[in-house]
Structures are given as structure tokens and as C-alpha cells.
Amino acid sequence: MMKRLLAATSIATLCLVASASAAEKVEMWVRTGVGDAFKKTVEAYNSSHENQVAMTEVPFSELVQKYATAIAGGQAPDALSMDLIYNPAFAAAGQLEDLTDWAKSLPYFNSLSPSHVKLGTYQDRIYGLPLSVETSVFAWNKDLYKKAGLDPEQAPKNWDEITANAEKIRALGDDTYGFYFSGGGCGGCMIFTFTPLVWGSGTDILSADGKTATLDTPAMRKAVDIYRTMVKKDLVPAGAASDNGANFLSFTNGKIGQQSLGAFAIGSLVTEHPDINFGVTLIPGATGGTSSFAGGDNFVVTKGTPKVAAVKDFLEYIYSEEGQKIMAKYGSLPTRGDIAEKVLKGLDPRLQVGIDAIAVAKTPYTLQFNDLINSANGPWATFVSAAIFGDDVDGAFGSAQSEMQSIIDSGQ
């Protein structure tokens, strides 16, 4: 009798242990400033699922280095919200979990943001999937358009119209300007807002495989000339020359007629600056093409984590209609194009432009994005400052083209 009781007790204990161990706690890092969209989604998941997600915010400037260090020390989180531009480098280093088979089995895989999937792919294997989508768009102040005698419902369709409209808005005088960009000290800002002008004109700053610098093209020279002209004509506030991104949202002050912004700014304008009457459209190319920069984060899984199944369960929740609606409600564009219309229903209709931008958006694919583009002392940041605000345009092109190619070659 005692043996049977002990046996029954043991079985019950094992069942309890098994039940307790069935729930997983996923450790996930995100960059500071991730906003309410992801936080609210985590809260909703944790309140409705046995598995739990423990989110830790890491300063944006430290996240990549801290993650690399944690991987080396065997202390990395199970998952990470990683700026998609860094995906290729970590995938090439063999530090991320291969998600290919599972990803392609998702019924909505082909509707996920294509640029995010592309940046999450290395040697035809998928190591990152879209978590948050950001696109760049062109915004104009309708009230300033009207005061300047322009049609407030008519967005500019090419570079010449942007310049002409800027001149009329600047003619209003005082501290009202026709255009703004964070140009002198923010390479990241300029890759986000300036390169779409060139992409929309059919050219690029890097070859498709990322192995050749293609900066010096007629389209880039014309784009530089457009910006130089606006600067020389005093259509842009002088502070743009040294803005490191701190004043990126200058459009919100109501004194800027036109500016390329992130789609995230639509939500900020609607909720925090309801007095600004604005329109948004895709960023135009030289003669009417359009483009955008696809930014945001990819969801990556640390190589070797024993919690892959739990991580996938959480990501599938994010991709569910419920998860997508929570993300959108708090300012993040839907990552699934097949349900985007349903997800955005009832929200500001201008958010649709951010969605439309995904189809034409691009992101440079390179293992050396930080050295080439984001570094304050890198060739891209130095180039845009020298070419737009300096006196030697040819020299700026020559130096940047050479330095970019040197960096690319050193990493191959």
C-alpha cells in the first residue's frame, strides 16, 4: 500500500514539475525608445499566454556592442529587436538562429515587409524577420502651402516642384522656411531621407550585392545640386548644416513648409501637434518616380537558445491580427501587407502612405553599414556635409567614392 502511495505521489510530483516547466520565460532585448507599440504587445501576450516575455531596454548606442559581447560570453538573450541594417553582419558571423524553414511555412510569409526579409537573409538563409517597420515619407504643411498661393491638396511630384514650392513658402518671410533636413551631422538621417530621391530616379549608392560603391552618378549629382540650391537661396534654416538629428522633427514647429520624415512622425503630428494641417506622400524622384527608406527592426533569435519554440510562439502572436492591431494602435506600421488595411481601419488615413512606401522602399545591403553610413566620421556622413554645404563638390564625390570602396574591400 505504502509503495503504491509513494508511486502515485511521485507520478503526481512529476506531472507538476512537467506542467511548471512547460512555461518558458523568453529573455528579449530591445533598444531604448522602442515606444509603446512593442511594450503594449508584450503586455498583451504575457496576460494571455503561459509563456512569458521579459523585455530589457538597452541604450540604442550600446545595443549592438553589448549584444556581441554577451554572445561571446554566453550571456546573450534568447531574442533581440535588432536594427535591420545590422542583420547581415551578425548572420555572417554565425551568431543567429536559422529561421528559414519555419519562416517559409508561415501562410503570410510572402506578405511580410520585403526589405526586412532581404536584410534578414544571408546566403539564401533567413536569420531575421520584421518586427517593426519604418519608412520615410514626404510631408508638406497645407496651411503654409495655402498662404504661399499653392494648392494645399497637391503634393510635389518631382524635385523641381519641391524647390519651386520652397521658394514661394520662404517668400512668406520671417522664420518660415520652404524645406528642412538634418544634414551636417547625421548620416543616418540623410540615408533615411536623401537617398530615396536617388532610388526614385533609378540609381543607388551601392551595387545590389553591396560590393561596389556607386555613389558618383548623374542622379546623385543632381540631388546634391537641388539641396545646394535650396541652401544657397536661404530656403533651409542655417541650423540644418550642423544638425546631428536633434532637430529632425523641425516640421512640427509649424514653420517648415516641406520635409522628408519617418512615417512614425505621422502619429506624433496627429497626437501631439493637432494644430498642424499636413499632407504626406511618397518621396519623389527627379522626374516623378518614388521611393522610400525601409527602416525599423528585425526580430532575431540567438544561435543555440533552447527556447526557440517559445520565441516563435511570441513572434506568431505579433504577426496575428490582434498583435498587429496593438502595434498599429501605438504607432508602428503593420509588418503584414495582407492584413494592413484591416489593421489600420479606424486609424489616421495618412498612415496608409507609410504602408504604400513599403512596396517601393529600399535598404542598402552591406556587412559594413555602420562604417560606411552611420558613423559620424564615415564617408557617407562626411560626403553629404561636404557636398551640400562645402565648396568642392567634385572633391567630396571623389573622396567619398574612394573611401567607401576601400571600406568595402577591406571587409571582403
> Residue 19: is its pLDDT beyond 60?
no
> Residue 129: is its pLDDT beyond 70?
yes
Which pLDDT band holds residue 412 (cuts at 50, 70, 90)? low
Pick from 19-33, 52-66, 69-83, 265-279: least confident? 19-33
For 168-230, the DSSP string reads HHHTT-TT-BS-B---SS-HHHHHHHTHHHHHTTT--SB-TTS-SB----HHHHHHHHHHHHH
Give the Cα separation of 30 and 16 in Å (integer). Answer: 33
pLDDT digits (tens, 9 = 90+) for 159-216: 999 999 999 999 999 999 999 999 877 888 999 999 999 999 889 999 988 999 999 9
Mean pLDDT on 337-363:
90
Q: If 0-12 CB within 10 Å is exposed, 13-18 middle and 19+ buried, where does residue 151 land? A: exposed
Give the Cα separation of 87 and 95 in Å (integer). Answer: 10
What percent of the chain is modeled with pLDDT above 90?
A: 70
Residue 33: its pLDDT value, please? 63
pLDDT digits (tens, 9 = 90+) for 74-88: 999 999 999 899 999
In the chain, what are the helix, strand and coil shares in percent, each to the nearest 5? 50, 15, 35
Which pLDDT band holds residue 6 (cuts at 50, 70, 90)? very low
The torsion of the CA quartet 208, 115, 357, 337, rounded to 10 degrees, works out to 140
Q: Where are the domains of the chain?
A: 24-134+294-362, 136-292+367-410
Which pLDDT band holds residue 9 (cuts at 50, 70, 90)? very low
Q: Distance between the two ends of the chain, CA-based, in angstroms? A: 73
Do 24-134+294-362 and 136-292+367-410 come out as alike in CATH topology? yes
Strand partners for 82: 298
The three-class DSSP label of residue 251 is: helix
Give the Cα separation of 213 and 206 in Å (integer). Answer: 5
pLDDT digits (tens, 9 = 90+) for 230-273: 999 999 999 999 988 889 989 999 999 999 998 888 877 887 89
Residue 311: its pLDDT value, please? 97
List the CATH code of the domain at 136-292+367-410: 3.40.190.10
Domain 24-134+294-362 annotated CATH 3.40.50.300: no
Residue 76: its pLDDT value, please? 97
Residue 34: its pLDDT value, please? 64
Which pLDDT band holds residue 328 (cuts at 50, 70, 90)? confident
Give the Cα separation of 397 and 403 in Å (integer). Answer: 10
Mean pLDDT on 25-51:
90
Contact 67, 16 (CB under 8 A): no
pTM attached to this predicted model: 0.80
pLDDT digits (tens, 9 = 90+) for 281-308: 999 988 888 999 988 899 999 999 999 9
> Residue 2: is its pLDDT beyond 50?
no
